[in-house]
Amino acid sequence: MATAFKTVEPLEYYRRFLKENCRPDGRELGSITTADGSALVKLGNTTVICGIKAELAAPAVDSANKGYIVPNVELPSLCSTRFRSGPPGEEAQAASQFIADVIENSQMIAKEDLCIANGKLAWVLYCDIICLDYDGNILDASAFALLAALKNVQLPSVTINEETGLSEVNLKQKNPLIIRKHPVATSFAIFDDTLLIVDPTAEEEDLATGTVTIVTDDEDRLCSVHKPGGSPLTGAKLQDCITRAITRHKEVKKLIDKVIKSIKPK
Amino acid sequence: MASVVLSEPEKLYIVHGVQEDLRVDGRGCEDYRCAEVETDVVSNTSGSARVKLGHTDILVGVKAEMGTPKLEKPDEGYLEFFVDCSANATPEFEGRGGEELGTEIANTLYRVFSSESSVDLKSLCINPREHCWVLYVDVLLLECGGNLFDAISIAVKAALFNTRIPKVRVLEDEEGSKEIELSDDPYDCIRLNVDDVPCIVTLSKIGYRHVVDATLQEEACSLASLLISVTSKGALTSMKKVGKGSLDPESIFEMMETGKRVGKSLHIALQKILDEEESLGTSRQKVGFLG
Amino acid sequence: MKATPLSNCERRFILRAIEERKRLDGRQCYDYRNVRISFGADYGCCIVELGKTRILAQVSCELVPPKPNRPTEGILFFNLELSPMAAPGFEPGRQPELLVKLNRLIERCLRNSKCIDTESLCVVAGEKVWQIRLDLHLLNHDGNIIDAASIAGIVALCHFRRPDVSVQGEEVTVYTPEERDPVPLSIHHMPICVSFAFFQQGTYLLVDPSEREESVMDGLLVIAMNKHREICTIQSSGGIMLVKDQVLRCSKITAVKVAEITDLIQKALENDQKVRKEGGKFGFAESIPNQKITAFKMESATVDTNNVEEQAEEIITKADPPSEVFAKPILHTPGTAQIGEGMENSWGDLEESEKEEAVEEEGESEVTAFECEKIETEDTSTMRETKDEPIVLSDSEEEEVVILEPQELPKKTRTQTSSKQETTSKKAFNKRRKKKRAAH
Amino acid sequence: MAEEEEEKMAAAGGGCCLRPFSCEQGLLSRPDGSAAFLQGDTSVLAGLYGPAEVKGSKELPDRAALEVLLRPKVGLPGVVERSREQLLRQTCEAVLLGALHPRTAVTLVLQVLSDAGSLLSCCLNAACMGLLDAGLPLSSLFCGVTCALDPNGAIVLDPTTRQEQEARAVLTFAIDSTERKVLTATTKGSCSVEEMQQCLVAAQRAADTIFQFYRDSVRRKYSKS
Amino acid sequence: MPLDHRRVRGPEESQPPELWAAAGEVPVEGEEGEDKDAAPRDPCDLRPLFARAGLLSQAEGSAYVELGGGTKVLCAAWGPREAAEPGAAAPAGTGRLLCEFRRAPFAGRGARWRPGSASEREAEREAAAALQEALEPAVRLARYPRARLAVSALLLQDGGSALAAAISAASLALADAGVEMYDLAVGCALCRSPGPAAAWMLQPGEPEERRAVARLTVALLPALNQVSAVLGGGQGSSPDAWVQALRLGLDGCHRLYPVLRQSLLRAARRRDATAAAAATAATA
């Protein structure tokens, strides 16, 4: 079988696996009208959907002026045979934590923006990221889906009635969220300590001796360098990854801007 | 579900019998087995009933407790169903074995009672948004001898008929805070109107015909059955196909017609028994579990 | 991981030794193993070693609403975990019978004996009370878990300090340790469990059984007592029958052991308090004996970071600078765009293939899709849907459209050109966009 | 006590100083290998079983199946622990010569004893000492180093909890002993590329000190045998 | 209830904003849409349905079904594998069909569905059981002794008639996986609005379904004219009325059938084309 012999190419060859489809709006699978914001991202065969639901809650006692962002990644048995049905397994939990860290590290949303009344009422953004087709590089796809979905979240305006002290929601008047940073994740698979492949497929991930994920923001700052074990890398190799991630960020940013712009003028 | 294993000839015997309107125990296709119904069998419930239908043995207890109404229906009480498949009924139910069947039956009961008219839920409201009666209907399977659903629905109806909910009054003091006072008289209580509580009639397709009240052996011969709930007026409130097989549309229509007919007479018979038992009052000798 | 089984020879050997009043570790029948208590740097944290059995205890607290039936009482929560570290047979997330039994005993020993004053934990009646949580982790299992756990539990509770609070009107202020000294819990007495193992139907009795001894014993008697000789809990398990005298003898032994252990606990607590007051060193690091060859310490070490900047700069300059941005997003329809190329997405190829199919199917009269979705914005001028007629949609020259009129026989209308221009129309529902693909 | 530490550090010249380290090996009787690792007031206990018989579903035909469990001191392990377990497992897998023990199971349990900053690096160190004590074949050693970037951008090695809270970014690296390469990296907060590389260099230098500590403690352990 | 330790948790309690909306605002908004929809709606009208098979790369068979009301269901199927516990539950000589039904937390209107909560698990299990009942008659399980076939459905958005869409999608996915089947099971939902003279409506949208007094889901194997699922309930009415509803529903299934068949055919063609392309590439 021809596909069985996939040659492993060094870093220069990374562009091969770069195709994605971002569908944050409207009339497609990615648009979930029951959610307050949603996006579908395809990265090769890997397909991830993110739906965001906003609810109201009292802020936590120790951070009275902050709202909540609750990201969860689900890898249902539907997306690959490697996952069993039931509660999230280790990989899903690690991915959830990664996404939570990205949100926290990049400060893409200031949690203060989600607060409506200090100590009384704040938004909770439940970001549920579900993988529909698992073909590797789930972290990049999840982070991207989250960003795209957050970009088209529309929150109804909430006011606190002075007299009754009750909150009133105006569902007709909706405002977008303020996205302060645009973190973009770029993952690499490491083969035998020297070869790096960007955007690995599931097959490549299985064969690789390690992975590294770099998250950068608009100002080329690092929001996360996530290398959970695997083959050791030198600082120089790590630098190569970062350089590539910075380029990648620009590409993805362009894509997302274009998509968001295309649905705005309506 | 509890089931028996039959050999092919045994199955063939039953199927051919049904073809001739002759069932193994001598019944016709539309005949129920002899049913025993007794209410008020468990003293610490608000209402209870025990039903024996052939070898199927069901105990239902209804407990009325005060709760808060559901958000979407602030002026109504509600019913909660829980079905316990006792390991006494069959060793298969040991541990968590009966859980699946239990939830299936409970879900079916929810669907049967989903119609607004079956029980007057508004009468269960004490004061809107704050207090209402919640009727916890606990079903216990003591023995499985086929046709669980019908027997359970009869038992539930009997138990609801038997249910007595204490009367309460809402007292409001000057500051507007409300207090609930329970009536002192234990006989001062609300009865539920069960006229519109439906009964389930299960029609099992065997060969080219269908039978009601199938025994375990007959259930083993049936690939698919239709479960319909019928009120005493002959209205259908829910229907569901169960089993691995499929059904011809025409036979479904026939089964529905049969179900309505059988259900109506079932209701009449049940109501007669319940009224009779009621008329005996406290002088009635209780049979209980040793009878 | 599987538990290591006990061989028959071992079993016989231990039993024989017990008959001869000898124990594997050289103890006498009524001897307790050494108890060692070390405190962590945090309040309410300690490790108790009973011989080689080792238990970590940590107390924590939280302000919570009280239970409705006890509005003026604080809430106690105890949890013993058998860490998989303690023995190979313990698995994470499983609740073996042993664990349930031990937790019940801890509850009875610490909660039901009312040794902790729960009313003093009330902050605002019916609104806010302290919930005290005691976590016990078994780190090494060498028998007699319950005794070690009860000691560790009570020591940790005695050692614990909760933040001070003040209530003014409805405002509850919680003070940090810097603002106000934390407050200890009010503990009435210290119940301590002592275990007795019985062998040969109660003929032989051992105090503080080790793991090996536990694995061959017939029955176990646990007595919880405080130093006032009040029995807090007594439990016999294993199904042996004991003579009354034996139980009495055990309770006498318990009284002696409890007195010894209580003394030790008090000394340890005083010692720790003294060190803390004097500003000396405390914490687990201090409890590691220096003379042990398996232990090693290193004082604070300086790391030379003089020219890290230069070294880092060197790595960065050596690396390739970020490349130009190559990928240009291609917008398919509003809300959908793409970058990159290469491996085909198994979802994405539908546009093209369906177009090909459509060519093949020309002339066949098969229904392919329902289409009567409202189409927004710019397309509305040409695409309109009407109720009882087949719907006609066709502004985009190359778009093929199949319509099913649901009432009658399916009809369809299709307009098509063979050109492969990029789609400009927005097809709302049936996803038949054509993509300009770089591959072509 | 946190202040004391900081004062001491200030005296020792900036933040580039590791807290006192101590380590005790083989302190538990049941596990096949155990070690307690302390960095200042942060301490982690590691217990390791294996190579031992493996349950059918977890068996790997070509190497040992490594399982890492991280137990928090209060409450049950949650998503944070699960993600750290994955990170620690993959770090250990990278150095463990598991192929020498195919179809077996190795279980490493890490119990947090106290957290006073740099917890993850302490976990990494305890894990490595545990592997060493169990005598498992390793291709190299690794150590964990946590670096914090204080608000002025200065590097603080082995930060305390307070230093971590004040920091702009906290980076944790696992460095291997053969070539001082990066086995594991994880970050909190955001930093520039230059800062990251500086931290890495600092961590690599700190690793020399830590490996010397490893060497000395192992030497001491075997000194009388 | 024990806390969920496997998910990132938010605050203990939170409410959807709709709950706090100024009184009267929500229903008004809802009805506006409905009335426009409902008034001219022909009860026999079928909502548009889009079906596509074979789109997932990792599953052996897959299908996606979208309904005009906004319902989106994705299904994957894996077929035959060695049964984990041989002989359990299924009589010897036939295979087992395992069905799973998941609902995305954001699929519903109003409050987010809490994954892992007792009520959510309950709802998913019930839907899975209904799915299994509907599919079993369509699959030739006797051809797969001691094996198991698995179908999992994921509801991405519930715009009404979700179960019916899931049945159609699941049977498409099974067929796409190459599982031997007697026929496709086509699902169709109906509901009856309140009011004495209200008629049954085919494929209700979510608002219609919510207000309905009676609901019915049917599944049909059209080629064999066999009904594989009937599941409904609500306000009582005479058997004749139900018969009528059933007929309407079955008619709906017949009309949907060609769409599903077509999508399956396309998936097969596409697969052939890819295989051919791969073959030419290999020889080249």
Chain E residues contacting B via beta carbons under 8 Å: 19, 122, 125-126, 129, 133, 136-138, 213-214, 216, 220-221, 224-239, 242-243, 246-247, 250
| Chain E residues near residue D79 by CB distance under 8 angstroms | 5-8
Cα atoms found within 13 Å of the Cα of residue E205, Cβ hemisphere only: 18
What average pLDDT score do residues D127-146 get? 95
Under the banding of pLDDT at 50, 70 and 90, the label for residue B171 is confident
Scan residues 130-159 of D and list those with Cβ closer than 8 Å to C: 155, 157
pLDDT at B219: 92
CB contact under 8 A, C40 and D157: no
* Selected residue with higher pLDDT from B88 and C370: B88
Whether E259 is in a domain gets the answer yes
DSSP letter at A8?
A: P
A166 close to E (CB below 8 A) = yes
Whether E25 is in a domain gets the answer no
Q: Provide, rounded to the nearest whole percent, the portion of chain E with pLDDT above 70.
A: 88
Cα separation of A144 and A42, whole Å? 10
CB contact under 8 A, E56 and A58: no
Whether E37 is in a domain gets the answer no
Q: Which of A63, A93, A207 to mutate to test the interface with D (most CBs of D within 10 A)?
A: A93
Q: Provide, rounded to the nearest whole percent, the portion of chain B with pLDDT above 70.
A: 97
CB contact under 8 A, A262 and C331: yes
Chain A residues contacting D via beta carbons under 8 Å: 90-91, 93-94, 96-98, 100-101, 104-107, 209-210, 212, 217, 220-235, 238-239, 242
Domain CATH for E229: 3.30.230.70
| Chain D residues near residue C160 by CB distance under 8 angstroms | none
Closest residue, chain D, to E2 (C-alpha): D76
Q: In what helix (H) or strand (E) does residue B67 lie, and over which residues does it extend?
A: strand B56-67
What average pLDDT score do residues E75-87 get? 79
User: Length of chain C, please?
Assistant: 440
Q: Does C181 score more than 60 pLDDT?
A: yes
pLDDT at E98: 92
pLDDT at C342: 53
Q: Does E154 score more than 70 pLDDT?
A: yes
List C298's β-bridge partners, or say none.
Answer: D21
Q: Does A23 score more than 60 pLDDT?
A: no
| Chain E residues near residue C92 by CB distance under 8 angstroms | none
**Which pair of structure tokens corresponds to residue C33?**
């193993």
Q: Provide, rounded to the nearest whole percent, the portion of chain C with pLDDT above 90.
A: 49
Please count the other Cβ atoms lying within 10 Å of the Cβ belonging to residue C21: 10
Q: Tens digits of per-residue pLDDT, A242-259?
A: 998 998 898 888 888 888
Cα separation of D22 and E168, whole Å? 64
Contact call for B and D: 3+ CB–CB distances under 8 Å: no
| Chain A residues near residue C64 by CB distance under 8 angstroms | none
Whether E21 is in a domain gets the answer no
| Mean pLDDT over each residue of chain C, to the nearest integer | 77
Spell B128-140 as b/e; 16+ CB within 10 A means b: eeebbbbbbbbbb
Q: How close does chain A come to E240, measured CA to CA in Å?
A: 36
Kindly report which listed range (C399-403, D76-80, E192-196) carries the lowest average pLDDT score: C399-403
pLDDT at D15: 54
Nearest alpha carbon to residue A145 among A87, A185, A90, A202? A185
Query: In 3-state terms, what secondary structure has residue C355?
Result: helix
pLDDT at E41: 66
Beta strands in B128-280 (DSSP E): 131-143, 164-166, 168-172, 178-182, 189-191, 199-206, 209-212, 225-230, 236-242
Under the banding of pLDDT at 50, 70 and 90, the label for residue C432 is very low
Peptide bond preceding D51 in cis form (omega within 30 of 0)? yes
Contact (CB, 8 A) for C213 and C206: yes
User: Length of chain D, please?
Assistant: 225
Chains touching chain E, criterion 3+ CB pairs below 8 Å:
A, B, C, D
* Selected residue with higher pLDDT from C156 and C241: C156
List E152's β-bridge partners, or say none.
Answer: E76, E100
Q: Does B111 score more than 60 pLDDT?
A: yes
Q: Does D153 score more than 70 pLDDT?
A: yes
Q: Please, what are the domains in chain A? A: 23-263 (3.30.230.70)
CB contact under 8 A, D22 and C296: yes
User: Length of chain A, please?
Assistant: 266
pLDDT at C294: 86
CB contact under 8 A, A91 and D86: yes
Q: What's this model's pTM, rounded to 2 decimal places? A: 0.88
Q: What is the DSSP string of D82-121?
A: HHHHHHHHHHHHHHB-GGGSTT-EEEEEEEEEE-SS-HHH
Cα separation of B138 and C175, whole Å? 50
Q: Give the 3-state DSSP-derived string for A205-227, with helices as H, strands as E and coil as C.
A: HHHCCEEEEEEECCCCCEEEEEE
The span from the first CA to the last CA of chain E, in angstroms, equals 62
Q: Does C15 score more than 70 pLDDT?
A: yes
CB contact under 8 A, D30 and C88: yes
| Chain D residues near residue E9 by CB distance under 8 angstroms | 78
Q: Tens digits of per-residue pLDDT, C361-394?
A: 333 333 223 332 222 222 222 222 323 333 333 3
pLDDT at C231: 93
Contact call for B and C: 3+ CB–CB distances under 8 Å: no
* B153 CB-near residues (< 8 Å, 6+ apart): B109, B112, B198, B199, B200, B229
pLDDT at C365: 30
Q: Does E144 score more than 60 pLDDT?
A: yes
Contact (CB, 8 A) for B239 and B228: yes
pLDDT at B176: 65
* Selected residue with higher pLDDT from C416 and E33: E33
CB contact under 8 A, B248 and E227: yes
CB contact under 8 A, B259 and E239: yes
CB contact under 8 A, E50 and C407: no
CB contact under 8 A, E233 and B239: yes
Q: Does C28 score more than 60 pLDDT?
A: yes
Closest residue, chain C, to A246 (C-alpha): C322
D190 close to A (CB below 8 A) = yes
Under the banding of pLDDT at 50, 70 and 90, the label for residue C243 is confident
Distance of CA B150 to the CA centre of its chain: 6
Contact (CB, 8 A) for E141 and E95: yes
CB contact under 8 A, B238 and E229: no
Whether E133 is in a domain gets the answer yes
Nearest alpha carbon to residue B169 among B142, B147, B188? B188
CB contact under 8 A, E154 and A1: no
CB contact under 8 A, E11 and A35: no
**D16-224: CATH homologous superfamily?**
GHMP Kinase, N-terminal domain (3.30.230.70)
Kindly report which listed range (A153-157, B112-116, C374-378, E84-88) carries the lowest average pLDDT score: C374-378
pLDDT at C398: 34
Q: Tens digits of per-residue pLDDT, A188-232?
A: 999 877 788 888 889 889 989 999 999 999 999 999 999 998 999
Q: Provide, rounded to the nearest whole percent, the portion of chain D with pLDDT above 90.
A: 83
The span from the first CA to the last CA of chain C, in angstroms, equals 57
Nearest alpha carbon to residue E161 among E220, E217, E221? E217
| Chain D residues near residue C50 by CB distance under 8 angstroms | none
Q: Provide, rounded to the nearest whole percent, the portion of chain A with pLDDT above 70.
A: 88
Q: Tens digits of per-residue pLDDT, E29-43?
A: 444 444 444 445 677
Q: Which of E1, E4, E7 to mutate to test the interface with A (most CBs of A within 10 A)?
A: E7
C240 close to E (CB below 8 A) = no
Q: Does C253 score more than 50 pLDDT?
A: yes
Q: How many domains does chain E have?
A: 1
Closest residue, chain A, to E79 (C-alpha): A81
Q: What is the DSSP string of C98-127?
A: HHHHHHHHHIIIIITTT-B-SGGGEEETTT
pLDDT at B256: 93
Q: Tens digits of per-residue pLDDT, A163-198?
A: 777 788 888 888 889 999 999 999 999 987 778 888
The residue behind tokens 């590389």 is: D197
Q: Does B139 score more than 90 pLDDT?
A: yes
Kindly report which listed range (A68-82, A227-241, C303-317) carries the lowest average pLDDT score: C303-317
Cα separation of E80 and E103, whole Å? 25
CB contact under 8 A, A124 and E56: no
Cα atoms found within 13 Å of the Cα of residue E243, Cβ hemisphere only: 17
Look at phi and psi of residue A119 and say left if phi exceeds 0, alpha if psi is from -120 to 50, else beta: left
Q: Which of E109, E156, E176 to mutate to test the interface with A (most CBs of A within 10 A)?
A: E156
Q: Please, what are the domains in chain B? A: 8-281 (3.30.230.70)
* Selected residue with higher pLDDT from B223 and C354: B223
Whether E281 is in a domain gets the answer no
Contact (CB, 8 A) for D125 and D210: yes
